[in-house]
A and B are shown apart, each in its own frame.
Chain A
Amino acid sequence: MHTEPQTPGSPGIPGDFWLGLVCALLGAGILWKAWGWPYYADGAPGPGFFPFWYGALMIAASVMLMVRALRHADLAEPFGTLRGLWRTGPVWVFYAGFVLLLPLIGFLLSFALFVFAMQVMVYRISPLKAAIASVVTSGVFFLLFDRLLSIQLPVLIKGVF
């Protein structure tokens, strides 16, 4: 994986601090929800018992991570760059589009569109090659799973594709 090592003494707040902060907020959310469920019910531990403890542990571990990140900022472990999110971002968007279209236009068309977009925009292959590859890939999946293995995929026209 591509990482950009932080040089010792580099300015800014270390990535581990932000990671700790997000986890601490998650832990606080768990504690808040657990508060609403009985800790003990009918003389036995209730539904709030276990979440209370792992929520509390999550906050403790997160705070320790944040403190460690700030105290040893110069010795911080290399943190992966988030630039990757931008590089892979379009694929997430295309996939979200595919999931939105799936119930509307069926698997065959929506998956072919997704594969086409991914191959042209991300892998940078020619539109013609991408069109052929996307139709073939989507068709093979549909035939194999929907028709041969009877895993019913969403279709545009019932009984056809």
Chain B
Amino acid sequence: MDTFTGLMHGFAVALTLKNVLFCFIGCLLGTVVGILPGLGPAATIALLLPLSFNLDPASGIIMLTGIYYGAKYGGSTTSILLNMPGESSSVVTCIDGYQMAKKGRAGAALGIAAIASFIAGTVGIVALTLLAPQVARVALSFGPPEYCALMVLGLSLATVLSGPSLLKGALALLIGLTLAGVGTDLFTSTSRFTFGRPELIAGLDFVIIAIGIFALAEVFANLENRETAQLLPIPRGFRNLLPSWAELRQCRFAFLNGSVTGFVVGVLPGAGSAIASFLAYGIEKAVSKHPEKFGTGVPEGLAAPEGANNADTGGALIPLLTLGIPGGGTTAILLTALIVWGVRPGPLMMIESPDVFWGLVASMYLGNVMLLLLNLPLVPLFSQLLRVPGWLLGPIIFGLATIGAYSVAFRTFDLWLLLGFSLLGFVLTKARMPLAPLILGFVLGDMLERSLRQSLMMSDGSLWIFAERGLTVTLLVLAVLVLAGSRLSSLKRSRAAAMTEAG
């Protein structure tokens, strides 16, 4: 099936009444959680994952992915009106978005954010449509050594890009690998790290870890820090939400910059939309004729990061769908969902599950239009969600988390695990350890161990198998360069800081 035929098949799947409805539910839920500070898309998808297991795979993934990109649209509302980012990727949106709102241009700021999200999001999906089949074709020739090397590169990038400290990223990753090791060894049936508990023989369930580390840890963090912020007024009437032509002309380059930067960064494991939005803002400021005005409420300072934040989704889905390797926490949860539904993400997904692959891609075009229509006229309504009190929201999240974890195996032991993982997530966040490498380590740990051991079995235990194949060598050298480059830049930073201190 060529790309065009595949996409047309995808539209036939996505445009059924049921899938349009699930796409709408996903986009709506995504917008809501994007607006609500303290409940991110990863947490929401983790919470809804057990409830979506009974859906058919195409409908389920269309809904969960709708939450993923819908939250990015919604995140801008909180940033612009409250100066409080709903997601880490919306932090940069606060800089010029909030300043525009303070100058009485809240409507235009919300309009620019929605238009930039739509344009860049669509560009990201077009790139996904065109590039995914090519990547899958190349990946068809991969054997265990190539997969092993690819995962080493992916995990190295995730470790380096997920936070300022390489050591803390590495430790988070190793904790994830340890958690992945709990259970029965697939090759020899030896029980590992089960401590005599029969509940652990099948291993730890990803849903419980994801809900504990993302959802409940976030609730605890919010309990600790109950800030109140003043909601800026939104002008009434649809016309007042539209930016002027002059503002849109000012944003021309920003739309392009956000689209390209967001997509490219999205493909990189661990980078995520927060880095994409920061980078797009930096590029926009660097090429601007008036960089000194950035931070005072310039439309392009809002359009570039918002665009990058949304184009990132298309990029992030390429390694997930074509290689079966997620690049971040949310895509790791989507991978688990696909596996539970019996869909195997990877180079054969387009052939084995065309309904799911192309249905998802086509639904994203549809979802982007839905989000534009939802976000422009209904933003005053959505902003009322910001008035939902914490004392009501907290218990609701606890209830969803509890039922989500309990429904995995219907045993209270899992709730103790949930409590433990929420504590782990909270403590790691306090210690400024990134959570994405931990989740990726857990999701990829099993695959990494399997491909490494299979490679060594192929070569009778010789590590030379990794040096005999061109692609494997290239990927491993890249991984070493990524780690060494990060170490060098961190040494430089420490030295510069030490000199500043001494000076």
Contact = CB atoms under 8 A, between A and B. Distances in A.
Interface string A29-56: 0100100011011011111011100110
B501 A75 contact: yes
A102 B181 CA distance: 30
Interface residues of B, number: 60
B476 to A, nearest CB: 15
Contacts, number: 174
Contacts of A68: 167
Interface string A90-107: 011001101100110000
A135 B463 CA distance: 62
A137 B406 contact: no
B311 to A, nearest CB: 28
A75 B494 CA distance: 8
B187 A111 contact: no
Interface stretch (B128-136, B287-295, B328-336, B386-394): B386-394
Of all A-B residue pairs in the complex, the 8 with the closest CB atoms, nearest first, are: A80-B430, A123-B391, A84-B224, A47-B185, A47-B190, A115-B395, A58-B174, A50-B449
Interface of B: 51, 164-165, 167-168, 170-171, 174-175, 177-178, 181, 185, 187-188, 190, 192-193, 220-221, 223-225, 390-392, 394-396, 398-399, 402-403, 406-407, 410, 412, 415-416, 419, 422-423, 426-427, 429-433, 449, 452-453, 456-457, 460-461, 494, 497-498, 501
Interface of A: 1-2, 8, 15-16, 19, 23, 26-27, 30, 33, 37-38, 40-41, 43-47, 49-51, 54-55, 57-58, 61-62, 64-65, 68, 72, 74-75, 77-82, 84-85, 87-88, 91-92, 95-96, 98-99, 102-103, 111, 114-115, 118-119, 122-123, 125, 130, 133-134, 137-138, 141, 145, 149, 151-154
30 contacts: A1-B221, A1-B225, A1-B430, A19-B168, A19-B431, A33-B192, A37-B192, A45-B452, A46-B187, A47-B188, A51-B193, A58-B178, A72-B498, A75-B494, A75-B498, A77-B164, A77-B165, A79-B432, A81-B430, A88-B220, A88-B224, A114-B398, A119-B391, A122-B394, A123-B391, A130-B391, A133-B395, A138-B399, A151-B403, A153-B403
